Structure 1
Amino acid sequence: MNRPAARPLLWLAALLAVYLCAPFAASVPQLGAADWTGVDWRATWSAVGISAGSASVASLVILLGGVPLGYLLARSRSRKVALLGFVVQLPLALPPLTSGVLLLFLLGPYSWVGRLSGGALTDSFAGIVLAETFVAAPFLIIAAKSAFAAVDPVLDDVAATLGHHASSRFFRVMLPVAWPAIRAGLALAWLRAFGEFGATVMVAYHPYSLPVYTYVVFGGQGLPAMMPLLLPTLAIAILCAVLSILSLRQRNGAEPVEAADDALEPRTALATGRDASAGRSLAFHLHRQLGAFDLDIAWAPTTRRLAIIGPSGSGKSLALRLIAGLESNASSSVRLGDTQLDTLPPERRQIGYMPQDYGLFPHMTVAQQLAFPVDADPAGARYWLDHLGLAHLVGRLPHQLSFGQRQRVALARALTRHSELLLFDEPFAALDTPRRRRLQQSLRTLQREIAAVTIIVTHDPDEAALLADEVLVVEQGRVLQAGAIDAVFERPASMRVAALLGLHNVGEGVIGAPGRLALAAGLVFETGVREGAFAAGQRVMWRVSSHALTLMADGAHAGVVDAIELRRGERYIRVNIAGVNFDIASEDASLREGSPCRISVRAEGVDVWPVREPA
């Protein structure tokens, strides 16, 4: 902490705290001058009861209507709803007496509402409730709107993929997560309603609420007679302060995160012999227009372990959401085996969806997370709890778990429903490299056991190679290449694909004489390609195996060391030959950047294939 910078802030905080506490301190010496003998305690407690009762009824009305309104304001992007949000906050900007006058225009005895009700809405308990509701409602509505806006929409998406409809998601996920802030707004609304004077005195002078009765006593008998009436208000303020402190202590007393091992630790033997054919194949054609971005990709893989790789903004996550049904689009087609998923809402697709932060519900323990999916299998939940080493964590909340534990809980939750399709949206993106590698290995172990189709969205080629048997390379919403991992990594369709996969020793060239490849002006390699496989002058892609490149004093090709890099502890030398770079694994410490060198190339290690023309 920067103490010099923080000191002015502390002084300002202390100054404001002193000012807020000063009126209470100033009132203490005046208690001796209070007229305790002339207090009408019956009228006083009647006023307290009316204020407390009307504030409670008004708060209930505000709660029932304000929470749905706050949710609508937080989730809607409509201009009409935005205008509504502006209007419902106007009572905060109005003087209380002005609010009372406006209410008289609506509820007064000469308004159509007043005539319809026979004047029962003014000078009555109902009038007090209506006045307090008008001035106090914005406090809860603003709190609810802010609370719902702060809830991660991913939680709603995950709940949908776990089989819950909109109403169930609202009451079981959105409302509980937002409730602490809503509860604070409700407390503010109650206090505002309890202490309301201006609007109340205009709409319902009788029966006396506590603020109005205090005003009447002060006007008729003076300050000494009014002072005892401050006690109920001060008692309520002290009670609210105590409740706030207790709530803060409960939050601060939360159990800390356990520093546990992140790796998968099955308690029973892995069922690696499970029939892989039990899973069903996936096929999709996804199309979605979002402003200037147009996604249009199709894929029909033949294996169960799949990966979608591409740069940021390429449409990977959008594709995953379309498959999950979280983005509505009638023009997309998704089929899993014989089931046409695109005709089903997300809650009926029987899938598991894991976003980047795993989408655990912050208000649910591990046991509640696993029991949350619709049609969750209790026996399956117990199996996965034990199998993934989570049995001792069933009472923990997500913030009390390590990253690895959270990932295993999310996996167990998805598997509890016998999901046939598991979707992972860059599940390791936020982790450090050692932890990411451990969790990748853990997921790979689990993939061998389950029969579900898994799709990993990633921008990490190593992750795709480890966790998938087939890969789809996309950019700007279009497919650049799709196929088996080995085929795509060994023969990228274009230089752009090679760059996205992080491949080295790859480029474009031209076939010259039979068995010879021109990589650049003056640079020709012998290849193992049989005669007649390519026409002379044909443009091709080439790849040179790192094992085919050797640093030799009498090598056929002269070059210069362009750079020296360490990759996972191994030393690589980048050699520039006629403007073409080649990466060679070498432990020769005598080579430095700028050093001349010579390399030899084995013809069998030079692979050549046709260039795919862009669509």
Structure 2
Amino acid sequence: MMRSAPRPLLWLAALLAVYLCAPFLASIPQIGHADWASVDWRATWSAVGVSAASASVAALIILAGGVPLGYWLARSSSRWTALLGFVVQLPLALPPLTSGVLLLFLLGPYSWIGRVFGGMLTDSFAGIVLAETFVAAPFLIVAARSAFAAVDPVFDDVAATLGHHAGSRFFRVMLPVAWPAIRAGLALAWLRAFGEFGATVMVAYHPYSLPVYTYVVFGGQGLPAMMPLLLPTLAIALVCAALSIYSRGNRAGTLAKMDNGDEPPVIAATSATASAAPDLRLAVQLARHLGTFSLDIAWAPSTRRLAIIGPSGSGKSMALRLIAGLEPNEGGAVTLGGIDLDGQPPERRQIGYMPQDYGLFPHMTVAQQLAFPVDADTASAQYWLEHLGLAALVDRLPHQLSFGQRQRVALARALTRHNQLLLFDEPFAALDTPRRRRLQQSLRDLQREISAVTVIVTHDPDEAALLADEVLVIEHGRVLQSGPVEQVFEQPATMRVAELLGLHNVGQGVIKAPGLIEARGGFVLETADRSIPSGCEVMWRVSSHAIVPSPNGVHVGVIGAVGLRHGERYVSVNVGSVCLEFANEDDGRHESDRCQFAIDPAGVSVWRCRV
């Protein structure tokens, strides 16, 4: 339902709307005073033809050069490009007569260019085209620049990882996505060229274009004789307006009701796709500096299901982009199965890359998405359509799909290339918890079926534990810890790693005697592990099941919080500066209550501090 605008805004809008409509209404009574008998229809239609033809030629010239120029201005950040962008918009600010004078300096019969062409660039059809091109080009350039700037660069990145070179990415992805706005700019440029008078009359008084001929008739015969000449211009304006309205209505009519069925299909291993897994191992040495931030990572995992975890701004996504070749690796190496990928552009790395929003091209149907990769396997695409429950969606555009369906389409698109490396940049970040858990499990099942190396970037420890066999923990562009998931989660190297992994009942301390740990604030723990000698700095972890409330317990604390986690009731107890959590279904315990408990030494693990 449309919300009504505030009353002052409504009045301002109505005032301008009335002013814009009033000239058309005022012209209606004047139709009866038009001098129809004096109209030279042959000259009129000749002028209409000259204007339409010259505007069309100028529009084609503007389209051919304005789209690349707009793309360049949108993608470049240099000062020279900014200056060029300012200069090419100057014709918008200049009076048309001034533009005509400037063009005479360049193209007139006494200029060096004019002499080269024998004075044929003025008072000619070519002169009209040149004048209209100069005046109308900024309309398309500005529209193209804005359109390309609004296109998400991730589309170009994804197209590169699907094997397309720069030219193919521009014509098949960037230009189609930006085309609606460019088309509007082209229409404005054509209309501006068709109605151009000031520059045209200075550069090419002959042959008559429609605006120049209208001015000549007005000067010689007055307003009544000129009025019939307005009809062609008004007719063209009405046609353009009607086409614009039809285009908007047609686009709105294409919107289909979204199917929110996000239940992923069950994926079972099958010999049809699970080929013999080669001995693929990923090894990376990544270095990148951007302003004050620097990334410096070395990682050589020994398994194929990997995860990179860290807080926002830690460099996770940058690391993934460096592996994909989407950003330059400043002094490192990326190898996969002994093959050096670092010297290859992204289109030659044979990888699948899924950004956070999946990177589906908005102008392509599901079938077109799967056929887009350079070396897409038709049989494989059909298999994954059926296998991922997408067969009924092949004619849908991305905006007609639910989040879960988009994720599966992106997966299928990557899998049609038989990629050896799949990169996922927080693929479930935008989903609610139940839907995220279902799709995570679906991806885990898929990982068991394919032989590719998968790298998941996430800030969710549970997601990393589910989807990876090895994990890399980073912060501020540096490695905090790496290793098998079980090892990293069970024995975090530092308290910061434990915090990032969301671990509880973890702390630091010193071995005071074999089996005795003194933690912060004098809190003493007993452990069954007596292998670490006295005086060593250690980290420890207490299993929540090892904490047993008991009136005879040797530990006494104060309950800090009581809450639910995964449907179970957890109690947080503060013992000095140490906080311990344990599951407890006794709803008689409340915050600030005194709690006495015992800790089973067998449930206390201890290891030396690694850093």
Q: Distance in 2 between matches of 1:244 and 1:65?
A: 24
| Residue 252 (structure 1) shift | 1.2
Q: Specify the code of the residue in structure 2 equivalent to 1:602.
A: D
| Residue 417 (structure 1) shift | 0.4
1:594 equivalent to 2:592? Answer yes
Query: Would you say the 8 A contact 2:269–2:449 is kept in 1?
Result: no
Aligned residues: 611
Q: Distance in 2 between matches of 1:231 and 1:273?
A: 67
The residue correspondences of 1:157-556 to structure 2 (distance < 5 A) are 157-266=157-266, 270=270, 274=274, 277-278=277-278, 280-530=280-530, 533-556=531-554
Q: Distance in 1 between matches of 2:192 and 2:309?
A: 54
Q: Specify the code of the residue in structure 2 equivalent to 1:499.
A: E
Query: Would you say the 8 A contact 1:266–1:386 is kept in 2?
Result: no
- Per the alignment, in what secondary structure is the counterpart of residue 342 of structure 1? coil
Q: Specify the code of the residue in structure 1 equivalent to 2:52.
A: A
- Per the alignment, in what secondary structure is the counterpart of residue 343 of structure 1? coil
Q: Distance in 2 between matches of 1:363 and 1:274?
A: 32
Q: Specify the code of the residue in structure 2 equivalent to 1:72.
A: W
- Per the alignment, in what secondary structure is the counterpart of residue 53 of structure 2? helix
- Per the alignment, in what secondary structure is the counterpart of residue 508 of structure 2? strand
- Per the alignment, in what secondary structure is the counterpart of residue 588 of structure 1? coil
Query: Would you say the 8 A contact 2:381–2:413 is kept in 1?
Result: yes
Q: Distance in 2 between matches of 1:311 and 1:100?
A: 59
Query: Would you say the 8 A contact 1:511–1:517 is kept in 2?
Result: yes
| Residue 492 (structure 1) shift | 0.1
Query: Would you say the 8 A contact 2:107–2:121 is kept in 1?
Result: yes
Which residue of structure 1 aligns with residue 571 of structure 2?
573
Query: Structure 2 unaligned runs (5+)?
Result: none
Q: Distance in 2 between matches of 1:431 and 1:602?
A: 40
- Per the alignment, in what secondary structure is the counterpart of residue 496 of structure 1? helix
| Residue 12 (structure 1) shift | 2.3
1:148 equivalent to 2:148? Answer yes
TM-score, normalised on structure 2? 0.98
Q: Distance in 1 between matches of 2:279 and 2:217?
A: 80
Query: Would you say the 8 A contact 1:51–1:194 is kept in 2?
Result: yes
Q: Distance in 2 between matches of 1:582 and 1:2?
A: 53
- Per the alignment, in what secondary structure is the counterpart of residue 278 of structure 1? coil
Q: Distance in 1 between matches of 2:80 and 2:443?
A: 47
Q: Distance in 1 between matches of 2:233 and 2:275?
A: 72
Per-residue Cα deviation, 1:332-360 (whole angstroms, up to 9, x for no partner)? 20000021110111000000000000000
- Per the alignment, in what secondary structure is the counterpart of residue 483 of structure 1? strand
TM-score, normalised on structure 1? 0.97
Which residue of structure 1 aligns with residue 558 of structure 2?
560
Q: 1:151 to 1:430 in 2, by over 3 A?
A: same
Q: Specify the code of the residue in structure 1 equivalent to 2:146.
A: S
Q: 1:181 to 1:409 in 2, by over 3 A?
A: same
- Per the alignment, in what secondary structure is the counterpart of residue 190 of structure 1? helix
Q: Distance in 2 between matches of 1:570 and 1:94?
A: 72
Per-residue Cα deviation, 1:125-177 (whole angstroms, up to 9, x for no partner)? 00000000000000000000000000000000000000000000000000000
Query: Would you say the 8 A contact 1:48–1:209 is kept in 2?
Result: yes
Q: 1:267 to 1:601 in 2, by over 3 A?
A: closer
Q: 1:56 to 1:352 in 2, by over 3 A?
A: same
Q: 1:315 to 1:3 in 2, by over 3 A?
A: closer
Q: Distance in 2 between matches of 1:183 and 1:266?
A: 44
Q: Distance in 2 between matches of 1:491 and 1:79?
A: 51
Query: Would you say the 8 A contact 2:267–2:446 is kept in 1?
Result: no
- Per the alignment, in what secondary structure is the counterpart of residue 37 of structure 1? helix
| Residue 2 (structure 1) shift | 9.3
Query: Would you say the 8 A contact 1:279–1:453 is kept in 2?
Result: no
Q: Distance in 1 between matches of 2:561 and 2:338?
A: 53
| Residue 3 (structure 1) shift | 5.7
| Residue 14 (structure 1) shift | 2.2
Q: 1:25 to 1:282 in 2, by over 3 A?
A: same
Q: Distance in 1 between matches of 2:249 and 2:434?
A: 36
Q: 1:128 to 1:397 in 2, by over 3 A?
A: same
1:603 equivalent to 2:587? Answer no
Q: Distance in 1 between matches of 2:3 and 2:346?
A: 52
Q: Distance in 1 between matches of 2:145 and 2:522?
A: 68
Q: Distance in 2 between matches of 1:295 and 1:208?
A: 65
| Residue 11 (structure 1) shift | 2.7
Which residue of structure 2 aligns with residue 58 of structure 1?
58
Q: Distance in 2 between matches of 1:529 and 1:323?
A: 41
| Residue 270 (structure 1) shift | 4.8
